[in-house]
Amino acid sequence: MHQRSAIKLDDNHTRLILIDPNYINPQNTKVTVTFAYKTPKQIVDILSKEELTATNNKIEITVPAGAMRFIDVAY
């Protein structure tokens, strides 16, 4: 199971931090994020600059083994 945190940056931006905490047996983890109350206008991985697209207010993200992903969401 992955660790996650959502930080509200302002009224229109949230930063998601997704972590694979399994340091004994690290493995790539697929994570599904559902946006329940707002529809995202832009979703960007802040380290790789990869732009992600939500479908039906959901995105699927792979968290690499033993690593983190930092995702900025603009509404």
Q: Is the whole model's pTM more than 0.85, yes or no?
A: yes
Average pLDDT over residues 33-52: 96
Q: Read off the pLDDT of each residue in 21-43 and give the average, rounded to a whole number.
A: 89
Which two tokens mark 30? 């697929």
- Region 61-70: mean pLDDT is 93
Average pLDDT over residues 48-56: 97
Distances (CA, A) of 40 to 22, 23, 24, 66: 30, 32, 35, 27
What are 49-58's contacts with CB under 8 Å, separation 24+?
A: 58/32, 58/33, 58/34
* Least trusted range by pLDDT, from 10-14, 24-28, 48-52: 24-28
Indicate if the pLDDT at residue 54 is higher than 90.
Answer: yes
The SS3 of residue 10 is strand
